[in-house]
Structure 1
Amino acid sequence: MKTYKLIDMADVIRSKNSGPYELTFDVIFKTFDDYNFFKEHEPITAASFSKLYGIKEEDVFNVIYFDPAKAVKVTIKRPIPSGALGEVDVYGAQQHAPLVHFTFDA
């Protein structure tokens, strides 16, 4: 068994608004081989993502593996709506840091 770092496999790891009440995370892989390996082992699931972000599993709305783009998209409920009092990232563009450090064993 070997430990793999997502940052070594991905060209793009980003977060963004998906409306005022949702955040979307995109991981776009460098190669189809990396994407297919990742998809086969499926280390990102609603359960693993909720654990990584410290949220309830039911707040992970979608985990989509999108073959044509060699990408994974995850959409979650925003903890605080965009622009609401106490919200610190209106665009949702700074929420991807835990994914940058994501590792999995395969």
Structure 2
Amino acid sequence: MPDRVPTPPVLGDFAIEVRSKNAGPFWVTMETFMKDTAGYAIAADHTFLNEKVIAGLYGVDAAQVRFFRIPSLNVVKISFPRPVTQAGIRDRDIHAGQHHVPLATLTVPERHRADIRTQE
């Protein structure tokens, strides 16, 4: 049997929870509750996680994406307009409860993996 190839770590691996929810009928908010300051450093890294990345993941205008970085809580919140209005005919996730999945499964850059290994 061949050896298993290790999968690269994803953002969710360093979080207590990554979740999404409605922020009214026209906006979605996602929250990353990171396990520690090292995890927060990954989520708060502007070169890894920024408006362009979110725009690409969710098909929204980068100019409308809002980040709220809260280092004292190891939390990064991200808000953007919903692609369709809540409960509209094309809304496939009325509570926006599944929007967090692409965010949680973002592959962590190699430079951060090295930082985490040195802390273990």
Q: Report the TM range for the smaller structure's normalisation.
A: 0.7 to 0.9
Q: Which of 61, 74, 81 is the matching residue for 2:78?
A: 74
Structure 1 residue 55 and structure 2 residue 34: aligned? Answer: no
| TM-score, scaled relative to structure 1 | 0.85
Tell which structure's C-alpha radius of gyration is larger.
2
2:36 equivalent in structure 1: 31
Q: Which of 72, 80, 88 is the matching residue for 2:92?
A: 88
Structure 2, unaligned runs of 5 or more: 1-7, 112-120
Structure 1 residue 10 and structure 2 residue 15: aligned? Answer: yes
Alpha-carbon RMSD across the aligned residues, in angstroms, is: 1.6
Displacement after TM superposition at 1:37 (Å): 4.5
| TM-score, scaled relative to structure 2 | 0.76
Structure 2 Cα separation of the partners of residues 36 and 94 of structure 1: 24
Which one scores higher on RCO, CA 8 angstroms, separation ≥ 6? 1
Structure 1, unaligned runs of 5 or more: none
What is the number of equivalent residue pairs in this alignment? 102
Displacement after TM superposition at 1:4 (Å): 4.6
1:103 equivalent in structure 2: 107
SS at 1:7 equivalent = helix
Tell me the alpha carbon deviations over residues 14-64 of structure 1, each in whole angstroms, 9 at most, x when there is no partner.
Answer: 10000000000000101123213443x33111111111223221231x111
Identity %: 25
